[in-house]
Amino acid sequence: MPEQVDVVIVGAGFSGLYAAYRMRALGLTVAGFERGDGPGGVWYWNRYPGARCDVESVDYSYSFDKELEQEWDWSEKYATQPEILRYVEHVAERHDLLRHFTFGTSVVSAELDEERLRWTVRTDDGRVVEARYVLTCVGCLSTAHTPQIEGVADFAGASYHTGQWPHEGVDLTGLRVGVIGTGSSGIQSIPLIAEDAAHLTVFQRSANYSIPAGNKPLSDEERAAQKASYAERRALSRRSGGGSPHMAHPLNTLEAAAEERRAAFEERWRLGGVLYSKTFPDQVTSRAANDVARAFWEEKVRAVVDDPAVADLLVPTDHPIGTKRIVTDDGYYETYNRDDVRLVNLKATPIERIEASGVRLAGGELVELDVLVYATGFDAMTGSLDRIGITGREGRTLKEAWAAGPRTYLGLGVDGFPNLFNIAGPGSPSVLANMILCGEQHVDWIAGLLTHLSERGHAGVEARTPAVDGWVEECRRRADGTLMPAANSWYLGANIPGKPRVFMPFVGGFGAYGDIIEKVAADGYEGFELL
Ligand code: N01
């Protein structure tokens, strides 16, 4: 007989741990499974040099434990991966959450029994668990993507993907290193790899927009001030577009006088990182506004790079600023002023193949390497769900149901898949906002729904097809009202060959989304069928 529980939780990252906390508080029994040998999700896996969060540490933290907010001391403005992992491990122990999970175990299938409205969940170590509800907390950037370049397996040196970095670290001292990819992972790791390696070659296919983090250690006074204003920070974050307590300038870009505009950009530049894309409210909706923000960015970056020909390569020309996630860096552009760092423009000289001793470029040059780092990203948002065989009504898999792109109602429900909830994924703000607050928001909402169902004697809930159709259209309409679809980003699945080009997150903002799902709940879960 399969083991019986109320809820299966897949994944013990920030969302999965909080889900276990909330479900347990409802009196439900929980079986959780986590692929890694410990909690933390992306922060468990991404241990490459320089890995740190691009949301300020004070904001990138759980909001549900007010005492913890006051007790925990973040050491820097932007926390490093080891510090975030320590934090998540601390929370798991503090709330006794580890006992709900089996670690080092992947869920390989979840199959619906339509009659009994129960899910049978199987793991790679042969466990079978039956549950009323399944919460997939699998993360949006958790399935590493290594491109199928000819000869990948022939390389005689060591190869590493940034998202699967060895836990014991890698000593690059004295080695010739190549990095493929200049997204957040590449741009964060490149300055540190350059410091250790004898020589670094960066293989860039597309230039990216990166902005200095302005990272710094937090003083006792700064920490005290942050803690004193936590309630206000959280309230502002909940009303905001991106889940951080920062509001855009009240005017649109071109409505502001030139000096005021410049001062606003300077202020955001000083604040650091990804928030630059929201200096003015129209920055990713108006091309003219975007061009102004882009010009300011270009001026700043060109001032740092010594060689104008290298600077030319580092300035993107293929997408508006902010339509891919702006990277938050620490000394990235300065790295190209080093004599032992070379930038290869793959648009001019593509990789022909990888050979035992290095990377062969079109035109014949062989770049000899000892180590190759793949900073080549993830099969984002759907990759980890696709790899679980999820089978709903009439034997239809989630992969089939989403063959033309993710179809959800509010990001929370899928028609044909009753009692299955995906946390902070496609159809919700997720990757466009603060993922910890997104996870809490979803789990709290689901906890409210499950209470509603149990009080009224329902066995489950399922999104109605017209509601799903309507939400898919709403997400598309909102994305098309922005410049976001103009970039070949992972938001659109454009980095994975054959993936349908659909803008996957809800672009309307974290606060606006919260209002929508609260209204749906207040209206008796309109758009859902209570079973
Ligand atoms: O991945 P990416 P990432 N040949 O997909 C290149 C979050 N994150 O791991 O742009 C050559 O952004 C690809 O080139 P192109 C954050 O949300 C956050 O860096 O497709 N190059 C690109 O340059 C981020 O957005 C943090 O032309 C190839 C790179 O690889 C997301 O994770 C830190 C190639 C992939 O960039 C993903 O970031 C790290 C090929 N065949 C990550 N295939 C922080 O919190 C791909 N590329 C700061």
Q: Is 375 in the pocket of ligand 1 (CB under 6 A)?
A: yes
Coil, helix or strand for 31?
A: strand
Give dist(CA 430, CA 489) in Å, integer: 15
Q: Which of 495, 496, 504 to mutate to test the pocket of ligand 1 (most atoms within 8 A of CB)?
A: 495
Q: Is 53 in the pocket of ligand 1 (CB under 6 A)?
A: yes
Q: Is 214 in the pocket of ligand 1 (CB under 6 A)?
A: no
- Global ipTM: 0.99
Confidence of residue 233 (pLDDT cuts 50, 70, 90): very high
In the reported structure, the alpha carbon of residue 286 is separated from the centroid of ligand 1 by a whole-number distance in angstroms of 25
Q: Is 142 in the pocket of ligand 1 (CB under 6 A)?
A: no
Confidence of residue 39 (pLDDT cuts 50, 70, 90): very high
Q: Is 326 in the pocket of ligand 1 (CB under 6 A)?
A: no
Residue-wise DSSP of 311-363: HHHHS--SS-TTSSPPEEESSHHHHTTSTTEEEEETTTS-EEEEETTEEEETT
Residue 134: exposure state from Cβ atoms within 10 A (0-12, 13-18, ≥19): buried
User: Which pLDDT score is estimated for 169?
Assistant: 95
- Summarize pLDDT for 366-376 with one digit per residue, the tens: 999 999 999 99
- Summarize pLDDT for 330-359 with one digit per residue, the tens: 999 999 999 999 999 999 999 999 999 999
- Summarize pLDDT for 184-212 with one digit per residue, the tens: 999 999 999 999 999 999 999 999 999 99
Closest ligand 1 atom to Cα of 51: 33
Backbone CA torsion sign across 162, 218, 280, 256: negative
User: Which pLDDT score is estimated for 2?
Assistant: 80
Buried residues in 396-412 as b, exposed as e (16+ CB within 10 A): ebbeebbeebbbbbbbb
Q: Which helix (H) or strand (E) holds 69?
A: helix 66-71
On the CB side of 512, CA atoms within 13 Å amount to 11
Q: What percent of the chain has pLDDT over 70?
A: 100
Give the mean model confidence (pLDDT) for residues 38-52: 98
- What's the distance, CA 501 to chain centroid? 18
In the reported structure, the alpha carbon of residue 75 is separated from the centroid of ligand 1 by a whole-number distance in angstroms of 27
What are residue 267's phi and psi, to 5 degrees? -65, -45
User: Which pLDDT score is estimated for 472?
Assistant: 98
**In degrees, to the nearest 5, what angle opens at C-alpha 36 toward C-alphas 30 and 39?**
60
Kindly calculate the radius of gyration of the chain based on its CA atoms and give it in whole angstroms.
23
Confidence of residue 1 (pLDDT cuts 50, 70, 90): confident
In the reported structure, the alpha carbon of residue 353 is separated from the centroid of ligand 1 by a whole-number distance in angstroms of 20
